[in-house]
Amino acid sequence: MGSTSLIPPSTGMHHIPEPDLLQVLSAEGQRREDPDLDPWLTDITPQMLAALHRDMTVIRRIDTECTHLQRQGELALWPPLLGQEAAQVGSALAMQGQDYVFPSYRENGVAYLRGIDPLGLVRLWRGSTYAGWTPSDHNVAAQQIIIGAQALHAVGYAMGITRDGSDAAAIGYFGDGATSQGDVNEAMVFAASFHAPVVFFCQNNQWAISEPVGVQAKRHIADRPWGFGIPAMRVDGNDVLAVLAATRRALERARNGGGPTFIEAVTYRMGPHTTADDPTRYRDAAEVEAWRAKDPIDRLEKHLEGLGEDLEGIRAAAGAEADAMAAQLRAGVATLQEPGPDELFDQVYTEPHHELERQREHYRLYLEQFDGPQLTAGAL
C-alpha cells in the first residue's frame, strides 16, 4: 500500500480539505482526485454508484423499520446505525466471500450485505434466538455485545488463517469507545506481533454512549495503532467511495502478507446509542444538524445528479426495494415463534453431556412448580 495513504501520526494530506482525512466525495458530492485511493476505484460506474445508493437506502430503511418495531414493543432493543450507512456499505462491499467478519452490535448493514436475512437480526433483538444466524453460513460471527471483545476474536481467527495458508482476511468492527477497552489494545499487540491478516475497522461516530470522543482521545484515534506497529488510515466515513477504496487496500495488504491495518472511519451516530438512550440529554442539536449536512446518501445523490444520471429513477428503484424489504420484515416478525425453555440447553454442547442433562432435569422440576412453559418430556 502507498505510504501516503497510510497516514503517520500528525501529518497531513496536501490535497485533503481536513487534515489527515482521506476523502473522495466531498459533502457537496464533488469527486476529488486521490492518487492513493483512485486506483482502487477503477471499476466505479454509474451503475455501481446506483447500486451503492440502493444498498444504503435499503439498509437505512431496515434500520428505521426496526427502530419502529422496538418502539411498538416488538423488539426488546435496537442499536440504530442511522448516519453510518456509508461506513458499513463501503467496507462490506470491499470484502471477498472467504473473508470473515467479526461485528459489534451495530453492524446490521454489514450483516445484510453478507447475505443475512434481516429477520435473523430481528430474532436476536426480540429475544427469540441466541444467535440470528449460523456464522459459518455467511462468514460472519455472532454479534458481540461485550465492547471490543470481537477484536480479539478477529485476530485469533486471522492467526488461524495464516497457519492454514489461506489468502482470506479477517475484519473486526468496533466503535470509538471500544478503543479504550483493553481487549482492542491487546488484539492490536497480538496482530502486530504475529503479523495477522486482519483489518481493524473503527466507526468513530463521535459518541461512546453519552461521552464525546474528545474525552477519551486527545489525538486522532488513527494515531494510536502506530504505537503498536500497525499502519492506519483515517477516512471520511460518510464517503462511501473513500471507505470502499480504503478497505480494499487494507484487505489486499492483509492477503498479500502485509499484516494488520487500522481504519478509522469518521462518521456520526445520528440517532441514539440504542433505543434505550435519549441523546437529547447530552448532545447539542446544532451538532446534529451540522452532521446532517454530511449525510452519506445525500452526498452520493448529489454526485449522481452531477453526473447527469436519472436521480429520480434511482431513488424510485431504491425506495421500492426498501419498501418491499420493510414489508417483508414486518410480516416476518408476526410469524416468529418464541423459544421455549427447552432451547436453553440445546446449543451448549455438540454431543450429549451428563452434567447438562442433570441441569435440564433440575430445571424441569423447578418449572413444574409454576403455571407456564414446561420442558417437554422428549427433551430429556
Closest to 204 measured CA to CA, from 110, 267, 287: 267
What is the Rg, in whole angstroms, of the alpha carbon atoms belonging to the chain?
22
Phi and psi, residue 295, nearest 5°:
-50, 130
- Residue 35: CB partners within 8 Å, gap ≥ 6? 2, 4
How many Å apart are CA 84 and CA 239, to the nearest integer? Answer: 10
Closest to 237 measured CA to CA, from 84, 55, 24: 84
Cβ contact 75:126 at 8 Å: yes
pLDDT at 376: 52
Cβ contact 40:244 at 8 Å: yes
> What is the distance in angstroms between the CA of the first residue and the CA of the last residue of the chain?
57
pLDDT at 19: 55
Q: Return the number of other C-beta atoms located less than 10 Å from residue 230's C-beta.
A: 20
pLDDT at 346: 83
Model pTM score: 0.90
- Residue 16: CB partners within 8 Å, gap ≥ 6? 22, 23
Annotated catalytic, 255?
Answer: no
Cβ contact 268:289 at 8 Å: no
- Choosing from 60, 114, 224, 269, the catalytic residue is 269
**Three cell numbers written together for 95:** 470484502
SS3 content of the chain, % helix, strand, coil (to 5): 50, 10, 40
pLDDT at 125: 93
Check residue 376 and report its DSSP letter.
-
**Residues of the chain whose pLDDT is less than 50?**
1-4, 10-17, 377-380
Cβ contact 22:13 at 8 Å: yes
Check residue 27 and report its DSSP letter.
T
- Residue 316: CB partners within 8 Å, gap ≥ 6? none
Phi and psi, residue 204, nearest 5°:
-80, 95
- Choosing from 273, 299, 303, 360, the catalytic residue is 273
- Choosing from 219, 282, 292, 362, the catalytic residue is 282
Q: What DSSP string describes 297-333? A: HHHHHHHHHHTT--HHHHHHHHHHHHHHHHHHHHHHH
Provide the 3-class DSSP secondary structure of residue 72.
Answer: coil
Phi and psi, residue 50, nearest 5°:
-65, -35
Annotated catalytic, 248?
Answer: no
pLDDT at 15: 34
Annotated catalytic, 249?
Answer: no
